[in-house]
């Protein structure tokens, strides 16, 4: 009887144990992201959270899992969606007007071509559709946040999500060093008609993570940084319609009967994401409160990344093989070269 009571008490407290573990990892990641040399590498809180999660997940977590599992699952299932909704407080519809039709067109072209290229290459390489779409979403929209937002629609395994996020980390970090060098080389060789501002649009429309965009634009100059961040925010805003379209595509391709197939499963967190961005655009909430909400959102998303890392096994990532890395490499080349060509054609059509 006493044993059963103890077991029941253990089950009741297990969500708290998992939440405490994830909170500790998240606090460490957010603190580490403020270290100047890490911030200079574009390693933001989300990236560091999954790295710390993977480290603990493959060392200590097997012993902690019995008491922490339910708390970790709670974060993965619910806090992730809350984090995507709150992400809307980082955006305003006025940002679209600042960049104009040119930036919107380039973002839409890059998102569409990159994701479709990912799907085509993934099929050619024989990569499963979940991994392909996760890598495609991360490359074409906003890195880890897009991967996390796409995961609930695909119901993908943690190892596949981790593979997609790792590609964002590797190639996004590489781009932080490559883009400023390319800017200086182009300024010397005069291959393409890029100013600081137009090169900033190129950065924002092709680089993976928001933190990486900030770091890269800052390395070039203030005009490049401002244009890059605004362009990137517009690209992030396209996450919601992308999720709606992807949800409809997945529904049509399912094995459901004809009656069910006609109904589209709407990811309500994506709709709320746009609603929050619209609310933020009305400027009804004080700047100070918005900043607090953004800070909370960083914590929530970092907690989701920590939970993902804890449930990711290196052996499962290793089993994914070289093909996902090859896919991400080709997408990175497309973003770099194809993105430059699209930016040049749209910004300088004559």
Residues in the chain: 350
SS (H, E, C) 169-185: HHHHHHHHHHHHHHHHH
> What mean pLDDT, rounded, does the chain reach?
84
pLDDT band at 94 (very low <50, low <70, confident <90, very high): confident
Contact, 56 vs 291, CB < 8 A?
no
Lowest mean pLDDT across 6-10, 27-31, 62-66, 124-128: 6-10
CA quadruple 105, 106, 108, 112: dihedral sign: positive
pLDDT score, position 22:
94
Most confidently modeled range among 40-54, 64-78, 194-208: 194-208
The whole model's pTM is what? 0.74
Contact, 86 vs 296, CB < 8 A?
yes
At 217-263, the pLDDT tens digits run 878 888 888 788 888 888 888 888 899 899 888 877 665 544 444 44
Which distant-in-sequence residues (6+ apart) come within 8 Å of 231 by Cβ? 99, 103, 106, 107, 200, 201, 203, 204, 205
Contact, 144 vs 151, CB < 8 A?
no
What is the average pLDDT across 148-158?
86
Q: What token pair was written down for 211? A: 């933190």
DSSP secondary structure string for all residues of 103-128: HHHHHHHHHHHHHHHHHHHHHHHT--
The span from the CA of 222 to the CA of 230, in Å, is: 12
What is the average pLDDT across 326-333?
95
At 302-318, the pLDDT tens digits run 898 788 788 777 776 67
Of 149, 337, 345, nearest in space to 246 by CA: 149
Q: What token pair was written down for 75? A: 């974060």
pLDDT score, position 264:
44
pLDDT of residue 349 exceeding 70: no
pLDDT of residue 87 exceeding 90: no
pLDDT score, position 2:
45
What is the average pLDDT across 104-112?
94
Lowest mean pLDDT across 11-15, 136-140, 165-169: 11-15
Residue 98 parent element (H or E): helix 94-125
The span from the CA of 263 to the CA of 285, in Å, is: 36
Q: What token pair was written down for 347? A: 């910004």
User: Could you give the count of Cα atoms lying within 13 Å of 157 in the half-sphere of its Cβ?
Assistant: 11
pLDDT score, position 229:
83
Terminus-to-terminus CA distance in the chain, angstroms? 82
Per-residue burial over 116-154, b if 16 or more Cβ lie within 10 Å, else e, is ebbbebbeeeebeebbbbbbbbbbbbbbbbbbbbbbbbb
Residue 253, CA distances (Å) to 148, 244, 256 in order = 21, 14, 8
Residue 136, CA distances (Å) to 38, 131, 156, 246 in order = 26, 8, 14, 12
pLDDT score, position 226:
78
pLDDT score, position 14:
60
């Amino acid at each position: 009887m006493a044993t059963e009571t103890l077991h029941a008490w253990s089950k009741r407290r297990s969500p708290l144990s998992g939440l405490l573990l994830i909170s500790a990892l998240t606090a460490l990641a957010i603190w580490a992201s403020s270290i100047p040399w890490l911030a200079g590498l574009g390693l933001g809180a989300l990236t560091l959270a999954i790295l710390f999660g993977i480290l603990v997940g493959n060392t200590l977590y097997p012993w902690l899992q019995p008491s922490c599992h339910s708390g970790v699952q709670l974060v993965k299932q619910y806090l992730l969606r809350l984090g995507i909704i709150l992400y809307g407080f980082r955006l305003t519809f006025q940002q679209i007007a600042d960049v104009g039709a040119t930036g919107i067109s380039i973002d839409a072209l890059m998102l569409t071509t990159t994701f479709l290229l990912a799907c085509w290459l993934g099929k050619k390489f024989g990569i499963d559709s979940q991994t392909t779409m996760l890598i495609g979403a991360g490359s074409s929209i906003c890195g880890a946040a897009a991967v996390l937002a796409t995961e609930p629609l695909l119901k993908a395994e943690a190892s596949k999500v981790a593979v997609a996020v790792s590609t964002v980390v590797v190639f996004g970090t590489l781009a932080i060093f490559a883009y400023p060098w390319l800017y200086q080389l182009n300024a010397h060789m005069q291959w393409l008609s890029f100013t600081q501002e137009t090169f900033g649009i190129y950065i924002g429309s092709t680089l993976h993570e928001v933190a990486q965009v900030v770091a890269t634009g800052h390395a070039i100059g203030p005009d490049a940084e401002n244009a890059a961040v605004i362009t990137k925010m517009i690209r992030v805003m396209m996450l919601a319609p992308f999720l709606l379209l992807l949800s409809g595509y997945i529904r049509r391709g399912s094995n459901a009967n004809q009656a069910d197939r006609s109904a589209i499963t709407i990811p309500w967190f994506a709709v709320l994401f746009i609603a929050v961005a619209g609310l933020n655009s009305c400027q009804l909430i004080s700047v100070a409160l918005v900043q607090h909400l953004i800070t909370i959102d960083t914590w929530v998303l970092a907690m989701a990344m920590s939970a993902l890392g804890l449930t990711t096994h290196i052996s499962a990532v290793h089993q994914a093989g070289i093909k996902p890395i090859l896919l991400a490499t080709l997408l990175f080349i497309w973003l770099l070269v194809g993105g430059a060509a699209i930016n040049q054609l749209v910004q300088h059509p004559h």
